[in-house]
């Protein structure tokens, strides 16, 4: 959109407020800290691009400078191309300590031509084991795609390019722990997991293909920032996502994704839970 000299400044300011994520460019220098891996983690293109690399010496990682207590987090990621067997690209929210909360995306590499596996999990008060896994309906190595976490007091929604693939509901009324009190940072890492990541560890990393590189751009956090454990939304959040749930159209999209691309659900693993599934499974689609 081109603005003439007659376009009111007040209207331009209003437009910038309504399109905040567009007017304020993502800046990894401002938003993230490179935490490990030395030069394998890099911020490029004036702060608009971040890359992580893995070689024989080490993987690499970064974390957000802010902590969040509820929010909508988006990141565009292009995964390791080619033969990525044995590698894991992790992208997740987490608090610290033995009773930590955590919301996980993990991308399990595979041989060239084979699909990545998207592994999801939720930890509440230190307890996880809520794994669901999916194939993707596109090649995540060929281009950037948006992976989002919507975390509010009602539910956690995992989204891929805006399509919900999983919901974890707040069912504390049934005695099921839910992440709601511990601020979490965003983390991402690329690391060697060839003891389990690809076919249970049967396929190892081909180090002749190193370095392996994943790329990030388009970070956006419409979130309640926590300071000294207190949320910036404490005095009445004015956030569209605060009470957001899935409408009928979003539920249909999630049913499509789960029917066609889900490959593992702990809530249907009879061998693992012969005495009955965990109680939250009655709420899972």
Q: What is the DSSP code (8-state) at residue 170?
A: -
> Mean pLDDT for the chain?
89
pLDDT recorded at residue 203: 86
pLDDT tens digits for 206-228? 999 999 999 999 999 999 999 87
Higher pLDDT, 11 or 103: 103
Match 């969040």 to its residue by tokens. 68
CATH architecture of 24-283: Sandwich (2.60)
pLDDT recorded at residue 201: 82
pLDDT recorded at residue 77: 98
What's the pLDDT band for 237 if we cut at 50, 70, 90? low
Match 């993502």 to its residue by tokens. 26
pLDDT recorded at residue 259: 97
Which positions are annotated as active-site residues?
102, 106
Q: Is the pTM of this model over 0.85?
A: yes
Query: What is the Cα–Cα distance from 194 to 190, expressed in whole angstroms?
Result: 12
What's the pLDDT band for 229 if we cut at 50, 70, 90? low
Buried residues in 27-59 as b, exposed as e (16+ CB within 10 A): ebeebbebeebeebbbbeeeebbbbbbbbeebb
User: Prior bond to 211 cis, omega within 30?
Assistant: yes
**Domain locations in the chain as residue ranges:** 24-283
Are the beta carbons of 204 and 86 closer than 8 angstroms? yes
Q: What is the helix, strand, coil percentage profile of the chain, to 5?
A: 20, 40, 40
pLDDT tens digits for 24-78? 468 999 999 999 999 999 999 999 999 999 999 999 999 999 999 999 999 999 9
């Amino acid at each position: 959109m081109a603005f003439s000299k007659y376009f009111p400044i007040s209207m331009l300011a209003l437009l910038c407020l309504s399109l905040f994520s567009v007017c304020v460019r993502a800046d990894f220098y401002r938003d993230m800290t490179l935490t490990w891996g030395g030069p394998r983690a890099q911020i490029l293109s004036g702060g608009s691009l971040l890359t992580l690399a893995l070689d024989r010496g080490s993987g690499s990682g970064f974390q957000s400078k802010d902590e969040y207590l509820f929010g909508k987090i988006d990141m565009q990621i292009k995964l390791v191309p080619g033969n990525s067997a044995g590698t894991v690209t992790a992208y997740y929210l987490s608090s610290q300590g033995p009773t930590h909360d955590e919301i996980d995306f993990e991308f399990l590499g595979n041989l060239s031509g084979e699909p990545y596996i998207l592994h999801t999990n939720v930890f509440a008060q230190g307890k996880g084991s809520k794994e669901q896994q999916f194939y993707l309906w596109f090649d995540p190595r060929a281009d950037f795609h948006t992976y989002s976490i919507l975390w509010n007091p009602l539910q956690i929604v995992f989204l891929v390019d805006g399509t919900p693939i999983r919901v974890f509901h707040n069912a504390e009324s049934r005695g099921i722990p839910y992440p709601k009190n511990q601020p979490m940072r965003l983390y991402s890492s690329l690391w060697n997991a060839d003891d389990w990541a690809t076919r249970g560890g049967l396929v190892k990393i081909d180090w002749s293909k190193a370095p392996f590189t994943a790329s990030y751009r388009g970070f956006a956090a419409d979130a309640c920032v926590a300071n000294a454990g207190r949320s910036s939304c404490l005095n009445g959040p004015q956030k569209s996502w605060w009470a957001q749930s899935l409408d009928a159209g979003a539920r249909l999209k999630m049913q499509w994704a789960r029917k066609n691309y889900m490959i593992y659900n702990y809530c249907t693993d009879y061998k693992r839970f012969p005495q009955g599934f965990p109680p939250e499974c009655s709420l899972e689609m």
